[in-house]
Amino acid sequence: MTQSQRKAIGIALTLLTLVVWAIIGMWGYELLLVGAPAWVHLIYFVAFGLGWVFPAMAVIRWMSKPE
């Protein structure tokens, strides 16, 4: 598989990962945090918002492999 093919697949995987991550975040909010104090919401959304970087790093590392 060429690097340009991996990049095309990687872009699609990154977008898919981001959408799935957002859906999981909303589901977790609805399940656990409705009615919680504002500071709990802040911690949750900051942590969850930064958390999608880890799955994306794996995809980006795979995309940047040499041929």
Is the predicted pLDDT of residue 67 greater than 80, yes or no? no
Q: How many domains does the chain have?
A: 1
Radius of gyration for the alpha carbons in the chain, expressed in angstroms and rounded = 16
Range of the domain at 59: 3-63
B/e letters for 34-64, b = 16+ CB within 10 Å, e = fewer, are: eeeeeeeeeebeeebeeebeeebeebeeebe
- Alpha-carbon distance of 9 to 63, in angstroms, equals 8
pTM of the model: 0.76
Per residue in 23-61, pLDDT (tens digit) is 999 999 999 988 899 999 999 999 998 988 888 888 888
List Cβ neighbours of 10 (8 Å cut-off, separation of 6 or more): 59, 60, 62, 63
